[in-house]
Structures are given as structure tokens and as C-alpha cells.
Structure 1
């Protein structure tokens, strides 16, 4: 049985990106850049106004009050073709280019308009309200680096750089296999007192998609070795990553690893000294990776957050640290001592303080939904008092 950090190191060594593709920027949300986004234009394209007001020459607003003749109007995308002469100004709107000769904006709240005359009664202050051409970025400048997740902010920047496409890492095709005779599709368990909704695979599938995977199949398997071996063959022929939920213990009908034996499974680790998640395992069949998760829903989702998220992150050119950004928080309560297994407690974070949810059992559903972070407690650590800092990971 290996430690959590050793398991992460094995995953980091075994995983490689599949390749890249170019896709339209409007379809790239949630993907990871394989190459930088390079600006095709300056931003702003020209000196533009940051406010609605009047474009003036600085030399004309040194003594007050001052009256200036309004000679035109500058609109975004249109501008004004002339040049401002001494004693004149141009009505201007936010985002519109400054006319030639102007070097500052006087905002409209500081101007009284009388017909074609703009009257500025007092010093408008030091702000020029001008966005300088190229002040954001220049043409040919790297706007976003390779490895950047294309979240809404990054997509906005890429589009602002006039990028129509982005080169991104390919998404891993994921086959998600749940094992257990008791499992049924959610909504059907009420028909039998012995049935259990297959909740774990729903959550793990959502997590996989969130972290860049593409779930191509989600299948429930009976505890029948022949059927499971057939499913394993089909999954290995079509998926880049196979995730198996359940069947990883030592019972007579736990076939999660045995189902892959005819495919020459290379087991890279078989157990991890963590709670929850001890039965988690990892291996490969040729180029296909196989990750085994515990069957209980909390254990499955927590272990997927700790192992599947970094696996998919590394497969898209990111780092394990990108997927597991631990941050400090203060305990709002005493944390009991930890035994030989490193423990990841479900908890809630508010105002920089973290409180464990009351029900930590591995089969819990509501308590899992109540939690928004994991608290990491190292193996063999002493009790920790309220107020002490602990590392937390957002779920």
C-alpha cells in the first residue's frame, strides 16, 4: 500500500497528452491551450475614450471657466475624421477613438452644454480618461500561455485578441463502468427494496467532464466475470481512460481487476493509504489507462477528485498542482488525531474558517452535497486545535 503522494507521482509519470486540435474559439470553453494565443491586433486599436464626454486639447483646459465649440461627434466604430483646432472640442462616447489633436476627455458630468458650446466651469481633475492604443496588448504579443484553461475570462481575452480558433489538447475519451448487482438507474430504485441508485457514476461522470474528459459510455455491470470481461474488451478498444467504480475489495464477487486480466493489465498501484479511498487502484492496458475507484458514492467522488482530476489535467498539458490547488484555512473546531491512513475530511469553508460536516461515512449523499472542500490531514498527525491552519481543496 502506497501513500497518496506516491500515487500522484505514478499517475504523473504514466499520463501523457494525446495530441492537439484546432477548434473555433466559441467552442473552446473548458479546454486547455496547447499553444499560446497570440494577438492579431493591438488592444485598444487606437487611443479611445474611457467615458462619455468631450474630447479636448489639454492646452484649452488650463483656465476656467472655458467655453469650447463642439465641432463634431465621435462614436465607437466610426470616429470623427477631422482634427480638433484650438478652442474646439468633439462630443465622444465610451470606446470611440480620440480625434486628431485631442489628448484628454472631460466627462459629461463636468460639462454644461449650451447649443453648440461646451462650458467647463472648473478644473476637471488629473484623469485623462484615455485608453492608450496597445495599453492592454500589442499585435504579436502572447496574450494567453500554453497550458491555460479556457475559462470565461481567458475566452474573453482570446476573443479580444481577435483569435477565431485555439489550439487545444485533445480530450480523453472515458468509459465509465460501475459494478454491482444492486445498482439501477436513478429513478428505478423505488421499485425494489434491494435496489440502490447508481449515484456514484453520475457524479464521477460530471467530474470527468468538468476536468476535460469526454465520457463516451457509462455502463452498469452485473457481478458476472464473463460479462465484465466482455465490457472491459469493448471499453479498451474505444476509450483512452477506463474508470471502474466498485468491485475493488476482496470479496468473492469483486472482479474489478480480474475483468482486465485477459487484456494483460499492468497494475501500477493497487491500494492507497488514504481515507476514504483505500481500495483505489491504477494500471494500464497498452496505451489505455485504467483507474479503479471505491464503490461507495462519497469514496468514489472524493477519490475521483484526488486522482481522476489530476490524471485528466496532466493529460491536457496541465500539472498535478493545477488540479490540486491546496490552500490554507483555519479550523473552526478541533480535529482529532489521525491514524496510519492520511484522511480527507469533507467540510465547509466560510470566511477563511473550515468546519467538518457532521456525517463522514463513505456512503453519505446529503453530507457530501453539504461539503464544499476537503481538509487534508496527514497520517500519524496529532490532534489540531481550533484556529490552526490546515490545507483545504475545493470540491
Structure 2
């Protein structure tokens, strides 16, 4: 390994490493996990990605890229960057997350020596290898949904000297063969906590995962599993967001016609939904709905029921909402926002989550406060 790579790796560890993770950062190089190419955003269109190839750069430039505290996309539209013929149009499917966020996630999960960990979402394998360096490879099980991404990651993990249990499959099912785990950590965002995770964690163990919904609201959950098999905890202050689990993605959204259905004045300014926490709250109230904005319009659409709501400024001031379909989406969102505002508009960390086999309940303030059920 070149002196430049060593110097950059040690500098990264010095900048980012907490007492617990500094040595792992010093030991695990990042460049093997980027493979032979990564994508950079085109800049002109959000869905266009340009491959940046290692072979077309000087070694020092490639290493500087690898050790930048930056996320590098490695797969778009099912095409790995090293296989991209030219510009690729599509959505990212895998990436090497910026190292500071990787460390933040590991610290939030409170992983330490002696823990047996299930990682959901191997990705490039960098975080997997950091855990192997600290915990030992036998303590780490990692699950990746995409076979192509999994094969690439396992090759990189092996190249840096580790052999954890690498599983190709749906991480929402966990991996029962190596249970029980002390910690489950997810590097993909989920709509709800998959019940197999609950069943595969020992009593007193934890589940740490970013959560995301179809409106785009996010929160960061850290739950402790109780003796009765339930799990509960508050959301954390950090607003982490990772790519959504592929099986939790929203259905395709058709175009809709606005301004139809029953009309009434809105009790809230629709612009409130551009606040991150307010969007999270709105999503709790209408979890099957998707949200979009026009120049002066906010639109909610529930594809499953065909229910919709849209708002626009009223000529005399305020806003008019139009609602159509079996569900009154704006009624539910409006009531949740007013409840949240009445409690002082707290951040997501002012909420908590309790998970059981029967239900998943987000509560405001305390477990006995106002609550909303996550979708089954």
C-alpha cells in the first residue's frame, strides 16, 4: 500500500475516529470498497450520473477521492460504476457512505467489543469491515439484497483480510441462523421495523435504524428489546437518512388532476410540510400517501385507495384544500400537525416508538401521549 494511502487513512482516522472506532479506521483502507469506478452527479439533471474511473486518474487523485469525507455512488439503475459504458440515467441503488456518517451510525448503535452484530445492508462492505476490525469477523453477520452488490462487497471485504458471515437475501428477514444478536444495525431506511429483527435480538439488545416514509419524512430509531419481546425507545437527535430498503419503496405515482373533490379552508399553511419534522408528522397521519409540490400547490396521493388532497392559495387569503376519495388525507394531516404544534413543535427526538408483534406505535412526548400507528 502506498505511503499516500497510509497517510490519508491515518488522517481520516484522526479526524473522525472516536476512542472506540479510531483504531478500526486506522486499520481498514477505504479505497478497495470503491472498486474501479464511482459515479458523480451530472449536475444538470438529478437522475444523470457520470462514471469516474480509477484508470483515468492519477493514483494520488484517486486516493484523495477515496479518503474525502464524501458519499460516492457505486450503482445506478442496477449498473455498477465500473460497468457503466457512459452517462447512466436512473436512481442510485448502492453507495459508499461518507465515513463520518458511517462512524456516527456505529456510535449511535453503541456497538463495542463483545457484541454480536447483524448488519442490514452490506453496501460496499466498508462499515462491515470496520466492525470486523473492532469486534472480530466471527461476531459480524451482514445481509445484502442485491446479488451484484453483495458479490462486489464480499470481494472487497476479503481483500482487506476479513471473512464475516455474508448473506445474499432480503435483510427485512434478518438472518436467523446466527441469532441471537446483541445489536441490529441497518444501513438502509425502513418504513416499519421488520418483526424478524425483533425476534432475533436478545433481551436487552438493541435495534438501530433510520426510518423513512413515502412522503420523505425521516427519523432515526434506537430501540431496546424487552423481556416480553417488545421493543421501545425514543428517536435520536441526528437526522440520518440512507437509501430506502428496496422492498419498502413507494409504488409508482401516476399524475393527478388537482382541484377536484370537496373543498374547504385549510386550518394550516401547507408550506409547513417543507419543514422536516412537520413532514415526518404528516407522514405518521397518512402513511400510505405520497407528497409533491407545485409552484403554489401541495399534493397528497394515496395510490392504493385513489384518495387525494391538494391545496392552493384562496383568493381572499389563506388556503383551500380539495379532497377526493375514501380517505380524507388532509383532515388526518391537519389534525396531526395541530397536535404537534400544540406540544411545542418538537424535533423527531421528542417522539418515541414501541414495537410489538401486533402493532408499531409512534408516540409524542411519552408512551401515553398522542400516538399514530405505522402501516402493517
TM-score (norm 2): 0.26
TM-score (norm 1): 0.25
| The structure with more helix, counted as a fraction of residues | 2
